[in-house]
Structure 1
Amino acid sequence: MLKVQEIRELIKLIDDSSISDFTYEEDGTKVTMKKDSANGSVPVVQQTSTPVESQPVASEPKVESTPAPQKVEKEEEPKKEEQSTVDFDYEIVSPMVGTFYNSPSPEDDPYVQEGSSVGKDSIVCIVEAMKLFNEIEAEVQGEIVEILVQNGELVEYGQPLFRVKKK
């Protein structure tokens, strides 16, 4: 829960900015501030608490703001991961941020395809980061049952690239 001094500092910051609406949420507590567009003051400060069980679990506080001239409020819904019906035991993930390549060069065949058998030392793809081409190994023996990214696609650290059924 925010302390009174923290709320006062937020009011001053909002009052000095062009932001008309401000919402801050953390651990089941929500603070909303709306600036009166006629005189620029911050007349409405609302702090509410709800039980933690009813709030979605988030790793970072949610902060939303809208500039004064813009009256449209945007609220992103969390992306829902698609449920896969593929049976797998292991996911090969990207060890870095970069560009995914399924073959050593555009003219060559892909390292692996769905149904390909891989060993622990089998190269399954390349992730290019900062002009360095890093070969990614399977690290498990099994069969590739699903390829989750397209050739040339940007990948994030920890993003699943392949699903493998262990043998």
Structure 2
Amino acid sequence: MLKIQEIRELIKLIDDSTIEEFKFEQNGSKITMKKHLKGENVSTEAVREVHTPAPVQTVVTEPAPPKIEDKPVAQQTEVKTETITNYHKITSPMVGTFYAAPSPESPPYVKAGDKIKGDTVVCIVEAMKLMNEIEAEVNGEIVEVLVENGQLVEYGQELFLVKPE
């Protein structure tokens, strides 16, 4: 079943696109979204079925990226995938709310490009009114912050990509 944040992101993507109708089914749950022109009724339908359907293989397709320096697209994709797999992923040790800074008026603990050590605090995950400082546990450079400030995170969800030293 999709998380509420994922559903919100889908709604925004559909709203910003030229897609008029979107249907999604997974594990007995169905989501149908339709965009209408002004003046028409709007309906969003979510149905949960009781029976368990057979497993369905999901295939995600993305448009092919443009060629760069006359290299074939497949080679570029392989290089990017290989590079990402070499990164260390800092994950959330609990369910909670991600905070990038110690307070709203403070700068974030880390941002992309920052050098970190194993004991560097990279964020806070608030769980049950307790602020839990999350340490990097690896020396390296922050490549990407994967979540936004104030976002709910799940146990094991990737928070940062780090290029280890």
* TM-score between the two structures when normalised by the length of structure 1: 0.52
Work out whether 1:24 is the aligned partner of 2:52: yes
Q: Which amino acid aligns with 1:24?
A: T
What residue number does 2:111 align with?
113
* TM-score between the two structures when normalised by the length of structure 2: 0.53
Q: Which runs of 5+ in 1 are unaligned?
A: 1-20, 31-54, 58-77
What residue number does 1:132 align with?
130
What residue number does 1:143 align with?
141
Q: Which amino acid aligns with 1:147?
A: V
RMSD of aligned C-alpha atoms? 2.9
Q: Which amino acid aligns with 2:156?
A: G
Aligned residues: 99
Instruction: Give aligned-pair identity as a percent.
Output: 56
What's the offset of the Cα at 1:89? 1.8
Instruction: Output one character per residue of 1:89-125: Cα deviation in whole Å (capped at 9) or x when no partner.
Output: 2100000000000000011110000000110000000
Q: Which amino acid aligns with 2:162?
A: V
SS in 2 for 1:92: strand
| Higher share of residues assigned helix | 2
| Higher share of residues assigned strand | 1
Q: Which runs of 5+ in 2 are unaligned?
A: 1-48, 63-76
Query: CA separation of 1:56/1:163 partners in 2, compared to 1, >3 Å: closer, same or farther?
Result: same
Query: CA separation of 1:23/1:157 partners in 2, compared to 1, >3 Å: closer, same or farther?
Result: same
Alignment of 1:1-167 (within 5 A): 23-25=51-53, 56=56, 87=84, 88-167=86-165
Report which of the two structures shows the higher radius of gyration computed on alpha carbons.
1
